[in-house]
Copies of this chain bind each other. A is one copy, B any other.
Amino acid sequence: MTRFALTLEFDGTPFFGLQRQKDGPSVQQAVEEAAQRVLGKDVRLHSAGRTDTGVHALAMRSHIDIDKAIEPFRLMEALNAHLRPDPIAVTHCEAVPDDWHARFSCIGRAYVYRIANRRAPLTLDKDRLWQVPQDLDHGAMHRAAEALIGLHDFTTFRSVHCQSDSPVKTLDKLEVERDGDEVRIHAEARSFLHHQVRSMVGCLALVGMGRWREEQVAEALAARDRQALGLNAPPHGLYFVRAVYPEDA
């Protein structure tokens, strides 16, 4: 048995998220079916993170176990051939030790959330960014974000469907930058609660629009109450960008 680490890039638009779902197509199902066609037997995909319907990935890390001799490059090419026309690509593939686990060995996750801050409808970037027509004060958003950094009870920013044992997490980074009419929010942590990034982005956007004072983000956090959430940002602006492992350090 050889364990192969895969790096996956995907357009989340047509999928009901990364994980297998009873009610619709998932990235996991597509990759497992491609692997089944390549290898002639069932394969289980394990991944660093979960993503919701419509959320994208630039470099999700996953693994599969295979009891057949195959070169990583050939495996990657075969998976990509069988994944067509689904918008999923294996961009890297390598053999890893048996005790390396895409999810359990992962010590850091990074996301970026992209906002198109303009009035005109999106064309080339449709389904790739959240469009916010009101002028966003990204400086105020960046300052408000600082209140969320560190060890906190993130109950306010947690979906009712979250399966995490605890709402207490350490947020390592939450930064807001502007590049022309695009506002980007960068978030990093060891792990995130379900909907946490989108919920934090939604509240920061309210600050950017001037509908919330900067301090209201800290107040929402302190409330530890989902009802204190101002807004959950839509999924299509969110990208999983990086999974970090001990060997990367």
A interface residues, Cβ below 8 angstroms from B: 9-11, 56, 58, 76-77, 80, 83-84, 87-91, 118-124, 126, 128
* Known A91-B118, A118-B91: A123·B11 in contact at CB below 8 Å: yes
Q: Is the CB of A124 within 8 A of B87?
A: yes
Chain B residues within 8 Å of A91, by CB: 118, 120
Chain B residues within 8 Å of A87, by CB: 123-124, 126
The residue on B at minimum CB distance from A239 is B124
Chain B residues within 8 Å of A58, by CB: 124
Copies in the complex: 2
Chain B residues within 8 Å of A126, by CB: 11, 87
The residue on B at minimum CB distance from A181 is B91
* Known A87-B126, A126-B87: A120·B11 in contact at CB below 8 Å: no
The residue on B at minimum CB distance from A10 is B123
In the complex, A123→B86 CA distance in Å? 8
The residue on B at minimum CB distance from A126 is B87
Q: Is the CB of B89 within 8 A of A9?
A: no
Chain B residues within 8 Å of A83, by CB: 121
In the complex, A80→B121 CA distance in Å? 7
Q: Closest CB of chain B to A178's CB: distance in Å?
A: 17
Q: Is the CB of B122 within 8 A of A89?
A: yes
Chain B residues within 8 Å of A89, by CB: 120-123
In the complex, A118→B80 CA distance in Å? 12
Chain B residues within 8 Å of A84, by CB: 121
Q: Which of A77, A119, A128 has the most CB of B within 10 A?
A: A119
